[in-house]
């Protein structure tokens, strides 16, 4: 039950494969696309303990010489220090342009390993092997890589397309339920962008998805990849259309900043509450969103995601949120650009020239 897509990019594009058991086939799949020389697998300790042996065995059987570079799990590994360490390990292991770097893990590993691959020897070949829902349905597609600095999240990075994405859905079986739900927030965001038919599919399939039904996992993630790829292919370098993917994120990033990026609030949970606030804003901006907003809240709740600030344990006031929003990296020319849903598949961009509008909005919400 493997699905295959081709994602277009400036450098010619890359295939994405999605299905159960792909890690065991990784060596054979890669050997069919490149001469099996060296493969450096970059992973975090948690994922490596679960899946490194299987991936290494598959690569070794196909003739690759395997090197493993393991970093601690968590956002803290997306740092300059860790990036330097990874790049130097790649150099010490003498990886060159014919070799491959394999990012085995969630979005954190993908971002760190992707950036290291893009910088080392001015670009080593990169394979994404995502193991979280967020990474399979979202972050491994589109070529964005980044690390964090004290100035903010993901502010140092590159857009660097992989040669292949290998998403083994069997790995989702070991993902903690809270992480699965957090990834599902991005899946829901894609459905809000795509329209009613996509959203209705999620409403009908959520139970089967969380029960781990393979067919539903493949269909749900396939739909997400198609939405993301469709947008990224039109605007790889985020000049305009790619900003749509920021739906729920301008508020969400402010919530994450208010929670000081600690583990009390996962990115996907911030996105869930951010999606709700984007609908609240649409209502404040004069649109009738009652029906779709109600359906959104019901689906988020069913997936175990927060729909309010209290639900996400965020105590920040409107003024604090506004200050964080002004520092968001997506702000251009001093304007806060909100992506606002009038309904499913009906999205508009609102440029906030006067921050007072947001002050009034937060006041209307009593925050």
Nearest to residue 255, comparing CAs of 184, 182, 198?
182
Among 232, 242, 249, residue whose Cα is nearest residue 186: 249
150 CB-contact burial (10 Å; exposed 0-12 / middle 13-18 / buried 19+)? exposed
Name residues whose C-beta falls within 8 Å of residue 358's C-beta, 6 or more positions apart in sequence.
318, 322, 325, 336, 352
Q: Is residue 253 part of the contact set for ligand NAD (CB under 6 A)?
A: no
Q: Using CB under 6 A, which of 120, 131, 222, 250 touches ligand NAD?
A: 131
Burial of 17 (C-beta count, 10 Å sphere; 0-12/13-18/19+): middle
Cβ proximity to ligand NAD, 147 vs 289, nearer residue: 147
Site string for ligand NAD, 43-62 (x = CB under 6 A): -x-xx--x------------
Can residue 275 be called a binding residue for ligand NAD (CB under 6 A)?
no
Q: CB-wise, 44 or 89, nearer to ligand NAD?
A: 44
Residue 152 engages ligand NAD in binding (rule: CB under 6 A): no
306 binds ligand NAD (CB under 6 A): no
Q: Cα–Cα distance between 25 and 36 in angstroms, integer?
A: 14
- CB nearer to ligand NAD: pick between 118 and 222: 118
Nearer to ligand NAD, 3 or 50 (CB): 50
108 binds ligand NAD (CB under 6 A): yes
Among the options 78, 153, 189, 242, which is catalytic? 242
- Minimum CB distance to ligand NAD, residue 234 (Å): 16
**Which listed residue (99, 111, 280, 292) binds ligand NAD by CB under 6 A?**
111
User: Of the candidates 38, 67, 78, 125, which one interacts with ligand NAD according to CB under 6 A?
Assistant: 78
Closest separation in Å from C-beta 217 to ligand NAD: 13
Residue partners of 213: CB distance under 8 A and separation at least 6: none
Q: Which stretch binds ligand NAD (CB under 6 A): 29-37, 86-94, 132-140, 341-349?
A: 132-140
Q: For residue 6, indicate whether it is catalytic.
A: no
Note if 356 is an active site residue.
no
Site for ligand NAD in 254-273 (CB under 6 A): 267
Q: Which helix (H) or strand (E) holds 84?
A: helix 80-92
Stretch touching ligand NAD by CB under 6 A, among 5-13, 172-180, 189-197, 346-354: 172-180
Q: Of the ranges 4-12, 129-137, 198-206, 334-342, which one interacts with ligand NAD (CB under 6 A)?
A: 129-137
Give yes or no for residue 159 binding ligand NAD (CB under 6 A): no
126 binds ligand NAD, rule: CB under 6 A: no
For residue 148, what is the DSSP state? E
The DSSP code sequence of 178-217 is HHHHHHHHHHHHHHHHH-HHHHHHHHHHHHHHHTT-HHHH
Coil, strand, or helix at residue 43? strand
Q: Containing H/E element for 149?
A: strand 144-149
- B/e letters for 53-81, b = 16+ CB within 10 Å, e = fewer, are ebbbebbeebebebbbbbbebebebbbee
| 181 in contact with ligand NAD (CB under 6 A) | no
Contact 86, 69 (CB under 8 A): yes
Mention every residue, 6+ apart, whose C-beta is less than 8 A from residue 157.
Answer: 111, 115, 144, 145, 146, 147
What contacts 208, CB < 8 A, 6 or more positions away? 215, 216
Under rule CB under 6 A, residue 289 binds ligand NAD: no
Question: Which one of 179, 238, 326, 350 is the catalytic residue?
Answer: 238
Interface residue with ligand NAD among 175, 193, 227, 367 (CB under 6 A) is 175
The active-site residue out of 246, 256, 287, 295 is 246
Q: Identify whether the C-beta of residue 163 lies closer than 8 Å to the C-beta of residue 98.
A: no
Interface of this chain with ligand NAD, residues 314 to 333, rule: CB under 6 A: none
**Which residues of the shown chain bind ligand NAD in the complex (CB under 6 A)?**
44, 46-47, 50, 73, 75, 78, 105-109, 111, 131-132, 134-135, 138-139, 142, 144, 154, 171, 174-175, 179, 267
What are the residue numbers of the active site? 122, 144, 186, 228, 238, 242, 246, 249, 253, 267
């Amino acid at each position: 039950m493997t699905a295959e897509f081709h994602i277009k990019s400036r450098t010619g594009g890359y295939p994405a494969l999605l299905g159960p058991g792909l890690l065991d086939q990784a060596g054979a799949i890669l050997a069919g696309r490149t001469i099996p020389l060296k493969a450096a697998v970059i992973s975090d300790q948690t994922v490596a303990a679960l899946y490194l042996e299987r991936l290494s065995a598959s690569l070794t059987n196909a003739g690759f010489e395997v090197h493993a570079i393991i970093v601690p799990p968590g956002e803290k590994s997306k740092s300059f220090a860790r990036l330097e360490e990874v790049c130097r390990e790649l150099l010490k292991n003498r990886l060159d342009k014919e070799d491959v770097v394999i990012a085995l893990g969630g979005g954190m590993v993908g971002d760190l390993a992707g950036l290291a691959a893009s910088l080392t020897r001015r670009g080593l070949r990169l394979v994404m092997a995502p193991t979280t829902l967020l990474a399979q349905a979202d972050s491994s597609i589109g070529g964005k890589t980044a690390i964090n600095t004290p100035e903010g999240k993901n502010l140092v990075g590159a857009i660097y397309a992989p040669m292949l994405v290998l998403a083994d859905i069997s790995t989702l079986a070991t993902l903690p339920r809270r992480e699965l739900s957090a990834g599902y927030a991005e899946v829901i965001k894609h459905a809000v962008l795509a329209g009613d038919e996509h959203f209705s599919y999620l409403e009908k399939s959520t139970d089967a998805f969380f029960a781990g039904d393979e067919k539903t996992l493949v269909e749900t993630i396939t739909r997400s990849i198609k939405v993301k790829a469709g947008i990224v292919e039109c605007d790889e370098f985020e000049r305009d259309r790619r900003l749509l993917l920021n739906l729920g994120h301008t508020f969400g990033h402010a919530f994450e900043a208010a929670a000081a990026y600690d583990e009390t609030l996962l990115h996907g949970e911030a996105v869930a509450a951010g999606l709700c606030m984007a609908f609240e804003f649409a209502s404040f901006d004069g649109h009738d969103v009652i029906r779709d907003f109600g359906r959104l809240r019901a689906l988020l709740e069913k997936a175990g995601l927060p729909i309010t600030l209290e639900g996400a344990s965020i105590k920040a006031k409107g003024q604090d949120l506004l200050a964080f929003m002004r520092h968001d990296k997506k702000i251009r020319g001093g304007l806060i650009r909100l992506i606002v849903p009038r309904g499913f598949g009906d999205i508009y961009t609102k440029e906030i020239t006067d921050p007072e509008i947001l002050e009034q909005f937060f006041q209307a919400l009593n925050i």
